[in-house]
Chains A and B, each alone.
Chain A
Amino acid sequence: MPDNPFKKKSKNHFELLYNMLLDAIPSSVLMVDEKLHVVSVNQNFLLKSQRSNANTVGRPLSEVFPTVILENTGLEERIRNVFRSGSPVNGQKMTYRAPGVPIRIYYYSILPIPTNQIMLLMEDVTEQVRLSEEVRRVERHLASVVESASDIVLSTDIEGRILTWNSAAEKLSGLSSHEVHGRYFFEFCDTTQKQPVRLIFMRMKNSNESHTTEFHLLTPNNGGSILISWVFSPMKDDYGQTVGTVVVGRDLAERRKLELQLRQSQKLTALGVMAGGIAHEIRNPLAVCSSAAQFLLEDNITAEFHKECSKKIQANIQKASAIIENLLRFARSSLDTEMVEVELNAVLKETIDLVANQAKVQKIQILLPMQKKYILVSGVSGLLQQVFMNIFLNAINAMPEGGVLRIVVDTFEDRVVVRISDTGIGIPSGELDKIFDPFHTSSPVGQGTGLGLSICYSIIQQHLGSIQAESRYGEGATIIVTLPLL
């Protein structure tokens, strides 16, 4: 049974209070005299050091503390200094291991007190040190996640002023973290985007949803800009209040490069499909030239026949050359990417010339009603040709037994609609939504990359147009390409 403090009698009321206070605080307190003997200790010290009052009070420090600690901290010398100088020692660190208990970390202070004693205050900070180390470790981990990301990761305050700016952001923009810190993010956006970006930050204040967009980030140090795909997300505190915005950006150059590679490989696939038709078409004029040249080698030919042979040779070389020229144009065209004024009828006509051989080989009739007027769109002729080439070849593939490929061009006020229909097997209704997905293919394994229509889709999107498919299984398919008119 603990003593009842209310019934305790003491000659000195203050001494009792003082001792209670010392025992109640979560720090260890020792009073030490000039001879470095312990005068008194509180309960906390006895508990932590696993000592009794009897073998502590009246004993020299060298008996109470392990020698290692006294040597490492120079505790005795520090206490002597305090006695000498009268000024306290504050906030020193001590690692203390009592026999049989885990290591503890203390902060200690040595305070001179008027009774020619010092007070040694030891505060156990083991837990705080452990926690703060944990916090530092988590912080370091998070920082390295953000720093190691190859995407731009930045955070802003609620008004859109930049707070953090990771190394990917530094690398891509050429702007160091301290150059941008505290500046508005929109200052680094493309001129046309400054206002929209401000609006995004305003919307973030009251929104729980991310906002995805694409625009150019200025790289002022080299006077240029880079196209980035951005995701803005509101940053919330524990109470659900927006305290800022996290912006993640991915450099689209890499993706564009990949898209270009895909387009090129898809084009090579198309060339492979056309190879058969082309072989036939080129070998015919070659055969005519070859025979005519051999006629010319014969003796006794008439001047008239001589002329005829020469004409045939020339005409057939022209024919072969025209086929090759079309091919070259198709194979190389993905190199130019600048949007210019393009006449759509010419693109369609040139593309039809390219697939005409293949269509002929498969007994397919191509119908393109003549258009008298020019249809001008803004685009990359080679890319548009690739789109139509793809659609035509798909249509031709859908008609192994022959059929009709019909191309209808309609112009409206602001757009042109090209409908390309075949009389082939059609597309099952379940597949209709999938045909623009990358790698979706109905061709047997090894016969199609499945990239065709997804590339068409991305090209048409780049031209601010749209592409759709209509079909009823067994009744052919229609691909509808819509492009804005210039």
Chain B
Amino acid sequence: MKVLLLSSPCRYFKTMNTPILIVDDDPDMCWAISHIIESQGFNVITAYNGEEACFKLTHGDFSIVFLDAKLPDMDGLEVARRASTLLHEKPRIVLVSGYHYYDDPVVRHAIVEGIICGFLAKPFTNKELLKTLHTLSQAIE
């Protein structure tokens, strides 16, 4: 099992018309994720480091975020933590990482804390990513 989703802790969502934020310092990784998500008719915005992600999160309107765990300037979980404290309407964040594994205590803890909604291990299949995306967007609708 590579996908882990828990829907209960994140509650406040807006409609599906908002873009999806992809945070990863590897442009190729952003390219791949963007392509999968765009194929489903969603808009995508990318950020390449933690500061940029935080800035875009506070100045934009995102309901779903695909977030890399290791960014050059901060941990992905730090970005998620800031988002959950700074934003009134918390986006649903999926941690996408090659550094952690799905039953990693750090990941489980973050899910229980409610700062992320799910975890996707790299490398993932496009189907797995789509399934995650659909589960999240259905929860929003």
Contacts and interface: CB of A to CB of B under 8 A. Distances in A.
Interface string A276-311: 100111111111111110110000000000000000
A287 B69 CA distance: 14
Contacts of B33: 291
B63 to A, nearest CB: 23
A312 B98 contact: no
Interface string B110-141: 00000000000111111101000000000000
Interface in B80-134: 97-99, 121-127, 129
Q: How large is the interface on B (under 10, 10 to 19, 20 to 34, 35 or more residues)?
A: 20 to 34
Interface in B6-38: 26, 28-29, 31-33, 35-36
A315 interface: yes
Nearest to A357: B70
Nearest to A286: B123
B73 interface: yes
Nearest to A312: B28
A363 B74 contact: yes
B99 A279 contact: yes
A316 interface: yes
B97 A288 contact: no
B72 A284 contact: no
Given A279-B99, A288-B29, A295 B122 contact: no
Contacts of A360: 70, 72
A288 B72 contact: no
A138 interface: no
A255 to B, nearest CB: 40
Contacts of B74: 363
Given A284-B26, A312-B28, A363-B73, A295 B35 contact: yes
Contact of A292 (B32, B70, B127): B32
A414 to B, nearest CB: 40
A312 B99 contact: no
A291 B69 CA distance: 19
B98 A283 contact: yes
Nearest to B36: A291
A440 B122 CA distance: 38
A361 B71 CA distance: 7
**Of listed A283, A286, A312, residue having the most chain B CB within 10 A:** A283
Contacts of A363: 72-74
Nearest to B33: A291
Nearest to A292: B32
Contacts of A291: 32-33, 35-36, 123-124, 126, 129
A360 B126 CA distance: 27
Chain A interface, >50% SS class: helix
B123 A290 contact: yes
A292 B123 CA distance: 11
A145 to B, nearest CB: 59
Nearest to A319: B28
Contacts of A282: 98
A341 B122 CA distance: 42
A280 B126 contact: no
A285 B99 contact: no
Contacts of B125: 290, 294
B99 A280 contact: yes
Nearest to A290: B123
Contacts of B70: 280, 360-361
A85 B98 CA distance: 110
Contact of A286 (B35, B73, B98): B98
Given A282-B98, A360-B72, A363-B72, A295 B28 contact: no
A316 B29 CA distance: 10
B26 A288 contact: yes
Contacts of B32: 287-288, 291-292, 312
A479 to B, nearest CB: 25
Contacts of B72: 360, 363
Contacts of A289: 123
B99 A276 contact: yes
A286 B32 CA distance: 11
A361 B76 CA distance: 11
Contacts of A279: 98-99
A290 B120 CA distance: 14
Contacts of A290: 123-125
Interface string A90-131: 000000000000000000000000000000000000000000
Nearest to B35: A295
Contacts of B73: 363
Given A288-B26, A361-B70, A363-B74, A283 B35 contact: no
Contacts of B122: 283-284, 286-287
Contact of A288 (B28, B99, B127, B129): B28
A124 to B, nearest CB: 89
A103 B74 CA distance: 94
**Of listed A287, A288, A294, residue having the most chain B CB within 10 A:** A287
Contacts of A294: 125-127
A312 B31 contact: yes
Interface of B: 26, 28-29, 31-33, 35-36, 69-70, 72-74, 97-99, 121-127, 129
6 contacts: A284-B28, A286-B98, A288-B26, A290-B123, A291-B33, A312-B32
3 interchain residue pairs of minimum CB distance: A283-B98, A287-B123, A291-B32
Given A287-B124, A288-B32, A291-B32, 18 more contacts: A279-B99, A280-B70, A280-B98, A283-B99, A283-B122, A284-B122, A286-B122, A287-B29, A290-B123, A290-B124, A291-B124, A294-B125, A294-B126, A312-B31, A312-B32, A315-B28, A360-B72, A363-B73
